[in-house]
Homo-oligomer: A and B are copies of this chain.
Amino acid sequence: MENKKNRASAWFEELRTSICSSYEQLEQDYAGPYCDLAPGKFERKSWRREDLGGGDGGGGITAVMEGRLFERVGVNVSTVHGTFSEEFAKAIPGAEEDPRFWASGISLVAHPWSPHVPAVHFNTRFIVTTKAWFGGGGDMTPTFPDDQDTKDFHNAFKAACGKHDPEYFPKFKKWCDDYFFIKHRNEPRGVGGIFYDNLDSGDWDADFAFSQDVGRAFRDIVPKIYRRHMDQPWSEEERDALLYKRGRYVEFNLIYDRGTLFGLKTGGNVDAILMSMPPEVKWR
């Protein structure tokens, strides 16, 4: 198991490095509105769980870029271990027997300035209690959905899933649609993607390879979608439409998102958790 933990966390770090390079390249190449501003660069801050009073150990690195194409992109990689409270232990597979856990993962949220460039969210993680499983996914939230973008985004995950199990894509796509639904608005948060959790097929290497392929699929498709739209100018009305759309995003994250609420209620790193909040939002 130590070897598996090391391989998973090393992959999340490697993926972070290549994703961050790709985002910095997009900032460099950007030629749209306000491109006279300097291109953004990621700033990395490391944090340790014990410094935050979270109990037990480990920590992570929060990489944030505020640029001219991206209003904010946050990429967290963390590898922590701790002990679930009695309340939470009941809800987590394998934790009722022993409340100790180990978890490593990468998460990303990117909020572009432009209403023509979709916001995206991605994460993959490996969790160990008395059980061990992978989870994660990626989804896209455009202000003005574009059929080609949506098709390409879904197809990238479909191809990644298809390499592993023909049932993965339809199952994980539906799981994403069901999960990222804003019940009180009766509307989806975005155009979907995939979402999976508790993945333990019995073949760890296969599950790890699948999570790697999900990460690569996200890393490779997203820049293509960005490049189609990123240099296009926008109007104030279009920017406002983005800001209102972000309001729905905030409603989802704070009312329904299990990861956000779980993190906030278990003494997680508040800044790292709420890095998913959009930089600017409007409600009407």
Tell me how many chains of this kind the complex includes.
2
Nearest Cβ on chain B to A170's Cβ, whole angstroms:
30
Let me know if A146 is at the binding interface, CB within 8 A. Answer: no
Q: Which residues of B contact A45 (CB under 8 A)?
A: none
Number of interface residues of A (CB under 8 A): 22
Q: Which residues of B contact A278 (CB under 8 A)?
A: 283
Let me know if A270 is at the binding interface, CB within 8 A. Answer: yes
Q: Could you tell me if B255 and A250 are in contact, using CB atoms closer than 8 angstroms?
A: no
Closest partner residue, chain B, to A268 (CB atom): B184
Q: Could you tell me if B283 and A279 are in contact, using CB atoms closer than 8 angstroms?
A: yes
Give complex CA distance A112, B224 in Å: 42
Q: Could you tell me if B261 and A255 are in contact, using CB atoms closer than 8 angstroms?
A: yes
Q: Which residues of B contact A251 (CB under 8 A)?
A: 254, 274
Give complex CA distance A279, B280 in Å: 11
17 A-B interface contacts by CB (under 8 A): A183-B264, A184-B270, A185-B270, A243-B280, A250-B254, A251-B254, A251-B274, A254-B254, A255-B261, A255-B264, A278-B283, A279-B282, A279-B283, A280-B280, A280-B281, A280-B282, A281-B283
- Beyond contacts A250-B281, A279-B283: 14 other A-B pairs, Cβ-Cβ < 8 A, are A184-B265, A184-B270, A185-B270, A243-B280, A250-B254, A251-B254, A254-B255, A255-B264, A274-B283, A277-B283, A279-B282, A280-B281, A281-B281, A281-B282
Closest 6 CB pairs of A and B: A254-B254, A277-B283, A184-B264, A281-B281, A280-B282, A254-B255
